[in-house]
Structure 1
Amino acid sequence: MRQSRIAAGTASLLLAAACAFADPATAQVASPDPAVAYAALGDSYSSGAGAGDYLPPDKGCKRSSHAYPVLWAEAHAPSSFSFLACNGAGTTDILHDQLGTLGPRTGLVTLTAGGADAGFSGAMTTCALGGATRCLSAVSGARTTMDGPLRDNLDRLYSAIRDKAPAAHVVVLGYPHLYRLRGSCALGLADSERAAVNGAVDHLNEVIARRAAAHGFTFADVTAAFEGHEICSASPWLHSVDVLAITESYHPNAPGQSLGYLPVLTRAS
């Protein structure tokens, strides 16, 4: 990471409307049935923003041919495949815009959701611009949101998915740590701030996992899959801040989708 702290902060402000953490996009595991209808819902971590080769018509959803839902569908040949995940989608967007293809014959639903609702964009911007004290306070505020509004929003979304697809196996995937601590980044946030951000991601995953379990869904944790491949690692599977491609920032690249998310989904489905 070679940008100065100020440059990173400016990029983070622009990022707020685009990344998965922006405002606008345990059940027994059964073996997958290749004849099932598959619906891939969620935010930019599911659409593949950051992985490149976006499918037409793009319309800002950044649905990539390298996204884990596309790769899973190519490997398992479901009877039908609805790729509805969209960059920037929050739980309300998914509820209103992405459930139209679900039905009694839907056999598999996958999604990532919750980062936008948690208010991560504001916390990341504060961390980049405001110094350590304000950063830690902002991250704490995001954690509070996770325990209140986010929990309720997830319950509404999960209930709607189950109502529309009563027979589906639903896999809710989590989010990876953003930063490798004591890594190769010489500039940017201090490790104490990076650790706080990672800790908030852990808390977000815990909230999502609890709500998923309450609805009989499978939660698939990707933290271990991305270990050693976070920002500031030698071989990152996540983009750092990129002022030339803001929507790529803080998102998995193509290896993050194929080597991080896809194997986790394959085991969970």
Structure 2
Amino acid sequence: MSQSRIAAGAASLLLAAACAFADPATAQPAPRTAATGYVALGDSYSSGVGAGDYLEDGRECKRSSRAYPVLWAEAHAPSSFSFAACNGAGAAEVLTEQLGHLNARTGLVTLTVGGSDSGFVGVIASCALGGGKGCLSAVSRSRARMDGTLTYDLDRLYTAIRERAPAAHVVVLGYPHLYRLRGGCSVGLPDTARAALNEGVDHLNAVIAKRAADHGFTFADVATAFAGHEICSSHPWLHGVDVLAITESYHPTAPGQSLGYLPVLAGVA
């Protein structure tokens, strides 16, 4: 037998042996289901309180068809869409009541959460009814909660989200400044109180952003998008204080959702 035939036979044997002993998972990768589903978690800023046109199945949570999660889903057609965000939800409620929508096929998760945990509902009431001094005291108490229980609750929530949706890109959106200082409001809170509210929002966003980064999530700041459209601006994207509809006070309008939150999410999702 010629040396060339011997070499060819040896090469064939080596190739056969390599195929026989190769790890099947390496030789033939198993097909993976694409993680393309979208789940929107969170509080009233994600459910769309203030935007109107509330969905029939979401009245208790005030889920709006004009909320940024619905608008993003309509524009991008994910393989599935679960709209779990609910008015008044804090980190504990999102953890216990909303994470059932997550699974291995979830490719995108969005949420806003932390405002309720920080006591901003009480801050709103204090600022609306208690004047400047009461507003400053309420903001101070709220900041203490942000640095305390909120940090712990966010860690628990973010850990659980990653466990339930291991392949998901998680986007945590922040909150906008509430007031345009030296704006067009001739009545209401003094600018010192308005500035304190904005500073409280900044502190809240900083706490949320730090926890999100520590868990490998994307934090999306919306303050720049809302700049020039705060309460007391000429074209506000937030509701001012309305004692007859206090729930919608300090919440984004429909343009706040479509022109404020949606472009920010689209830029990172």
Q: Whole-Å Cα distance in 2 between the matches of residues 218 and 135 of structure 1?
A: 31
Query: Over alpha carbons, which structure has the higher Rg?
Result: 2
Matched, 1:87 2:87: yes
Which amino acid is 1:141 matched to? R
- Could you report, residue by residue, the CA deviation over 1:151-191 in whole angstroms, capped at 9, with x for unpaired residues? 00110110110010011000000000111101111111100
Q: Whole-Å Cα distance in 1 between the matches of residues 188 and 203 of structure 2?
A: 23
**Could you say which residue in structure 2 is the equivalent of 1:149?**
149
1:37 Cα deviation from its structure 2 partner: 0.3
Matched, 1:110 2:141: no
**Could you say which residue in structure 2 is the equivalent of 1:235?**
235
**SS at the partner of 1:100?**
helix
**SS at the partner of 1:186?**
coil
The percent identity for this pair of structures is: 72
**Could you say which residue in structure 2 is the equivalent of 1:100?**
100
Which amino acid is 1:138 matched to? A
Q: Whole-Å Cα distance in 1 between the matches of residues 180 and 88 of structure 2?
A: 24
**Could you say which residue in structure 2 is the equivalent of 1:202?**
202
Distance 1:130 1:56, change over 3 A: closer
**SS at the partner of 1:187?**
coil
Contact preservation (8 Å) 1:181, 1:191: yes
1:86 Cα deviation from its structure 2 partner: 0.6
TM-score (norm 2): 0.85
Distance 1:162 1:35, change over 3 A: closer
Which amino acid is 1:222 matched to? V
Which amino acid is 1:218 matched to? T
Matched, 1:218 2:218: yes
Which amino acid is 2:195 matched to? A
Contact preservation (8 Å) 2:35, 2:167: no
**SS at the partner of 2:57?**
coil
Higher relative contact order (CA 8 A, sep 6+): 1
**Could you say which residue in structure 2 is the equivalent of 1:166?**
166
Distance 1:128 1:101, change over 3 A: closer
Aligned length: 236
TM-score (norm 1): 0.85
Any stretches of 5+ residues in structure 2 without a counterpart? 1-33
Contact preservation (8 Å) 1:35, 1:78: no
**Could you say which residue in structure 1 is the equivalent of 2:178?**
178
Which amino acid is 1:252 matched to? P
Distance 1:52 1:130, change over 3 A: closer
